[in-house]
C-alpha cells in the first residue's frame, strides 16, 4: 500500500527521498511522486505512473534541489493509476503539497463543498480533497498550516497518514496519522519521516512511532514536537530500532522472496531463541506466562487474521485444540468485523499479522476489545499498530519481510503458535509429559530439517519448468496439511497469476474431481502421518483420471513414488510440525514457476504488502 517518506535537514533531500521510496517498494504501488522546496523557494512536484525509476527519469532534467521534501508511492484506491492521481497533490493555490496513505471516506461530500467554493480538482483522488480542504481552512480563517491541519482532520472520516509541505514555510513538514502508520526518525540536524522504519534505518536508529490523532511538527534545526488535534503537546517516546541494512538488501539472491525463503532456518531459530530450552525441556512464551490466568480461563479462543496469516491461524487451531483442549475458532478479520459476533470477556482473541498494519485485523481487534475480550497479538513488524492495539502478545522475530508474498512470516507465525500451544499445555498439564518433550525437541530440530529442504531448490526449479503451461493448479492436504495446501495455492496465485485452489483432499470427490484431466497438475501433501493411507487413496483417485500428481512425501516413501508423476522427498518430522517443513517446497515451487513465466516476483501486480485499506 502507499508509502510515505519525508526529509528535512542539511543534505539534499531528493536522493534521500528516492532511496527511501525504493526501500518502501516492497509495499506494492503503481505510481510515485516527490515534492521539494527548491533552493530558490519553489514548491516543485514531480510524479510518474509506474516505478520509482520512472519517476527518476521524469525528474532527471528538472530542478531537484532543496533540503526539504516529501515523497510517495501510491497504491490506487480512488482513481486509476496515473500521473494525475499520483501523489503529492497540490492545493489550487500551489502553496501546499500533500501525500497520504489511507482513505478519506467522506471525500465526496467535502469535495462538493469545496467545488461550491470555487475549488477545481485535477485528480479523482480523495487525497486532493484533503489538501484543498486544508488550503481552504488556512485561507478563509487566516490560520497557519498546523492549525488548519488540526481543523481539517476533525472534519475528515477515514484512515490516514499524511505529510504536508508549505511553499511559504520551507522549514517545516507537518505530518499526522490515524489508523495508518507513520514513523519519525531523529538524526543529527535532520529529521526523517516514513511509513515504517525501513527508509530511516540507514541514517538513524532513533525513531518515534506516532499514535492515532497525533500530529508531528517537523522543523529544521528544532527538536521534534508532537501535538494532538486540540494542540495539547505530547511527549514523544524515542525508541531504538534494531533493523540493520543487510536485512533490507537482497544479499546476492535474485529476489527478496528467494532470500526470505532461504532465511527461514535462521528465522525459526531466532524466533525460538530464549523461548525454547531443550536442555531444560522447556518452552516459555513470556506473554503467556504473564497472562496465564486470563488465557487458561478462556471459554474459547478466536483467531482473526487475513491471507497467509489466516492460514497460519488454521494451523494454530489444530495445535491449540490438540495440545490444550481449548476450543478455537478461526475467522477472516474482514468478515468478523462486520458480523455481530457473540463475544465477551470470557473470550481470548488472537490477532495474527505480519505487517501489524492490516486494517481489517485492526478493526476486528477493536470490535473484540469493545466487547471485553482479551487480545493477544502475534506480529512481525515491531512497533506497528496491531501490537499497540493488543493487551499482550509475541513477536515472531523473523526480520523485515520485503517480498510481497509472505514466506518466512508464515513459518514464524506457525512457530510462535506452536510455542504458545506448548506453553499453555504445560501450564494446563494437558499434554502427557513424554509427548510434550518429544514435540519441544523436534521443534528445536526444525531449522536443521528446513536446511535439508532448501537443498531441493535446484530440483524444484527444474520441476517448475514442466508446469509453466498450466492455467490451473489444485493443492490437496488433510489435517495439518490442509492449511498448507491453501498456502501453497495462494503463493502460486499471487506471484505466477496461475489460478490455484487448495482443498481438503477428501473434499475432491464432492465436486472438484470434475476438474481433473491429463492437463491438471495436482500438488498433494502426502507425508507420512496419521492420514497417510487416506491421502494415498486420494492420489489414486486423481491418477485414475489422468491428473498429474506432484506429491510431497517423507524421505524413503516408495509407495507414493511409484504412483505419483513427481515426488519431492522431505525429512520426517512430527505431524503437528509438518507444516514447517511442507510449506517450504511449495514456496519454492511457486517462486520458480513465477520466475520461469517472467513475472515480477517481489512486486506482483495489484498486490500490496501492508493492506491498510478495506
Contact flag: residue 38 with ligand F6R (CB under 6 A): no
**Residue range at the interface with ligand F6R (CB under 6 A); choices 76-84, 257-265, 347-355, 571-579:** 347-355
> Residue 81 has what DSSP assignment?
S
**Residue range at the interface with ligand F6R (CB under 6 A); choices 10-18, 60-68, 73-81, 349-357:** 349-357
Q: Which residues pair with 208 in a beta bridge?
A: 184
Q: Rounded to 5 degrees, what are φ and ψ at 24?
A: -95, 0
| Least gap, CB of 110 to ligand F6R (angstroms) | 29
**Residue range at the interface with ligand F6R (CB under 6 A); choices 86-94, 229-237, 307-315, 447-455:** 307-315
> Residue 28 has what DSSP assignment?
-
Q: Contacts with ligand F6R in 575-614 (CB under 6 A)?
A: 611
Nearer to ligand F6R, 311 or 426 (CB): 311
Rounded to whole angstroms, the Cα distance separating 315 from 412 reads 12
Nearer to ligand F6R, 132 or 361 (CB): 361
Contact flag: residue 312 with ligand F6R (CB under 6 A): no
Helix (H, G, I), strand (E, B) or coil at 341: coil
CB neighbour list of residue 425: distance below 8 Å, 6 or more residues apart: 323, 324, 431, 436
Nearer to ligand F6R, 67 or 587 (CB): 587
| Least gap, CB of 264 to ligand F6R (angstroms) | 14
**Total residues contacting ligand F6R (rule CB under 6 A)?**
14
Contact flag: residue 414 with ligand F6R (CB under 6 A): no
| Least gap, CB of 430 to ligand F6R (angstroms) | 29
Rounded to whole angstroms, the Cα distance separating 386 from 383 reads 8
149, three cell numbers: 491541519
| Least gap, CB of 363 to ligand F6R (angstroms) | 12
Contact flag: residue 308 with ligand F6R (CB under 6 A): yes
Contact flag: residue 20 with ligand F6R (CB under 6 A): no
Q: Provide the residue count of the chain.
A: 614
Active-site hit among 2, 267, 271, 567: 2
Task: Find, among 298, 39, 2, 273, the residue nearest to 160 by Cα.
Answer: 2
Q: Rounded to 5 degrees, what are φ and ψ at 375?
A: -115, 125
CA 380 to chain CA centroid, nearest Å: 9
Alpha helices in 78-201 (DSSP H): 107-116, 126-141, 145-155
For cell 534505518, the residue is: 201
Give residue number: closest CB to ligand F6R: 307
| Least gap, CB of 311 to ligand F6R (angstroms) | 8
Q: Contacts with ligand F6R in 482-541 (CB under 6 A)?
A: 490, 494
Task: Find, among 303, 325, 484, 320, the residue nearest to 418 by Cα.
Answer: 320
**Residue range at the interface with ligand F6R (CB under 6 A); choices 137-145, 196-204, 350-358, 509-517:** 350-358
Measured over the CA atoms of residue 323, residue 327, residue 332 and residue 336, the dihedral's sign is negative
Nearer to ligand F6R, 33 or 412 (CB): 412
The H-or-E segment that residue 425 falls in is helix 408-428
Rounded to whole angstroms, the Cα distance separating 89 from 70 reads 11
| Least gap, CB of 64 to ligand F6R (angstroms) | 34
Q: What is the Rg, in whole angstroms, of the alpha carbon atoms belonging to the chain?
A: 26
Contact flag: residue 405 with ligand F6R (CB under 6 A): yes
Task: Find, among 174, 122, 125, the residue nearest to 153 by Cα.
Answer: 174
Nearer to ligand F6R, 357 or 442 (CB): 357
| Least gap, CB of 34 to ligand F6R (angstroms) | 27
Contact flag: residue 334 with ligand F6R (CB under 6 A): no
Q: Contacts with ligand F6R in 353-372 (CB under 6 A)?
A: 353-355, 358, 361
Active-site hit among 167, 408, 491, 609: 609
Give the CB-side neighbour count of residue 154, counting CA atoms within 13 A: 10
Please say if 609 is a catalytic residue. Answer: yes
Q: Which residues bind ligand F6R (CB under 6 A)?
A: 306-309, 353-355, 358, 361, 405-406, 490, 494, 611
Active site residue ranges: 2, 609
Amino acid at each position: 500500500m502507499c508509502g510515505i517518506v519525508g526529509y528535512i535537514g542539511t543534505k539534499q533531500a531528493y536522493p534521500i527521498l528516492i532511496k527511501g521510496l525504493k526501500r518502501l517498494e516492497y509495499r506494492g504501488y503503481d505510481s510515485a511522486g516527490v515534492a521539494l522546496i527548491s533552493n530558490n523557494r519553489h514548491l516543485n512536484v514531480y510524479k510518474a505512473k509506474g516505478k520509482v525509476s520512472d519517476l527518476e527519469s521524469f525528474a532527471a532534467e528538472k530542478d531537484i534541489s532543496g533540503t526539504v521534501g516529501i515523497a510517495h508511492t501510491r497504491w490506487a484506491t480512488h482513481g486509476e493509476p496515473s500521473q494525475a492521481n499520483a501523489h503529492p497533490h497540490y492545493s489550487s493555490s500551489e502553496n501546499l503539497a500533500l501525500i497520504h496513505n489511507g482513505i478519506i471516506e467522506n471525500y465526496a461530500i467535502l469535495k462538493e463543498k469545496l467545488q461550491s467554493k470555487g475549488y477545481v480538482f485535477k485528480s479523482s483522488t480523495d487525497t486532493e480533497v484533503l489538501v484543498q480542504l486544508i488550503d481552504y481552512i488556512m485561507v478563509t480563517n487566516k490560520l497557519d498550516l498546523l492549525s488548519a491541519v488540526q481543523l481539517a482532520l476533525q472534519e475528515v472520516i477515514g484512515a490516514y497518514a499524511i505529510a504536508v509541505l508549505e511553499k511559504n514555510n520551507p522549514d517545516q513538514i507537518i505530518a499526522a496519522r490515524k489508523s495508518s502508520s507513520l514513523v519519525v526518525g531523529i538524526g543529527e540536524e535532520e529529521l526523517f519521516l516514513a511509513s515504517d522504519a525501513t527508509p530511516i534505518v540507514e541514517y538513524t536508529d532513533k525513531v518515534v512511532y506516532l499514535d492515532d490523532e497525533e500530529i508531528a511538527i517537523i522543523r529544521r534545526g528544532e527538536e521534534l514536537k508532537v501535538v494532538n488535534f486540540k494542540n495539547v503537546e505530547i511527549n514523544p517516546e524515542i525508541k531504538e530500532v534494531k533493523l540493520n541494512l543487510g536485512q533490507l538488501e537482497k544479499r546476492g539472491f535474485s529476489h527478496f522472496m528467494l532470500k526470505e525463503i532461504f532465511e527461514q532456518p535462521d528465522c525459526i531459530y531466532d524466533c525460538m531463541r530464549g523461548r525454547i530450552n531443550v536442555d531444560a525441556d522447556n518452552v516459555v512464551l513470556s506473554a503467556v506466562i504473564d497472562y496465564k490466568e486470563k488465557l487458561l480461563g478462556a471459554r474459547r479462543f478466536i483467531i482473526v487474521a487475513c491471507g497467509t496469516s489466516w492460514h497460519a491461524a488454521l494451523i494454530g487451531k489444530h495445535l491449540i485444540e490438540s495440545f490444550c483442549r481449548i476450543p478455537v475458532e478461526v475467522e477472516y478479520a474482514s468478515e468478523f468485523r462486520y458480523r455481530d459476533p457473540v463475544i465477551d470477556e470470557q473470550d481470548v482473541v488472537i490477532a495474527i499479522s505480519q505487517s501489524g498494519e492490516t486494517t481489517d485485523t485492526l478493526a476486528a481487534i477493536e470490535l473484540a476489545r469493545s466487547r471485553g475480550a482479551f487480545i493477544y497479538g502475534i506480529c512481525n513488524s515491531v512497533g506497528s499498530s496491531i501490537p499497540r492495539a493488543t493487551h499482550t502478545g509475541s513477536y515472531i522475530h523473523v526480520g523485515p519481510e520485503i517480498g510481497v508474498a509472505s514466506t518466512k512470516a508464515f513459518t514464524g507465525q506457525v512457530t510462535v503458535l506452536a510455542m504458545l500451544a506448548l506453553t499453555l499445555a504445560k501450564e494446563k498439564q494437558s499434554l502427557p509429559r513424554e509427548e510434550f518433550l518429544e514435540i519441544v525437541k523436534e521443534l528445536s530440530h526444525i531449522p536443521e530439517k528446513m536446511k535439508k529442504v532448501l537443498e531441493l531448490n535446484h530440483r524444484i526449479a527444474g520441476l517448475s519448468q514442466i508446469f509453466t503451461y498450466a492455467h490451473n493448479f489444485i493443492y490437496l492436504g488433510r489435517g495439518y496439511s490442509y492449511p498448507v495446501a491453501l498456502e501453497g495455492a495462494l503463493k502460486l496465485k499471487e506471484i505466477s497469476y496461475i489460478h490455484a485452489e487448495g482443498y481438503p483432499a477428501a473434499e475432491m470427490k464432492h465436486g472438484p474431481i470434475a476438474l481433473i484431466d491429463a492437463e491438471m497438475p495436482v500438488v498433494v501433501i502426502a507425508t507420512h502421518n496419521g492420514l497417510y493411507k487416506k491421502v494415498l487413496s486420494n492420489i489414486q483417485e486423481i491418477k485414475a483420471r489422468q491428473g498429474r500428481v506432484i506429491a510431497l512425501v517423507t524421505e524413503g516413501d516408495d509407495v507414493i513414488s511409484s504412483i505419483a508423476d513427481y515426488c519431492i522427498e522431505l525429512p520426517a518430522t512430527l505431524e503437528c510440525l509438518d507444516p514447517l517443513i511442507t510449506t517450504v517446497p511449495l514456496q519454492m515451487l511457486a517462486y520458480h514457476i513465477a520466475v520461469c513465466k517472467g513475472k515480477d516476483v517481489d512486486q506482483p501486480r495489484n498486490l500490496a504488502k501492508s493492506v491498510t485499506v478495506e
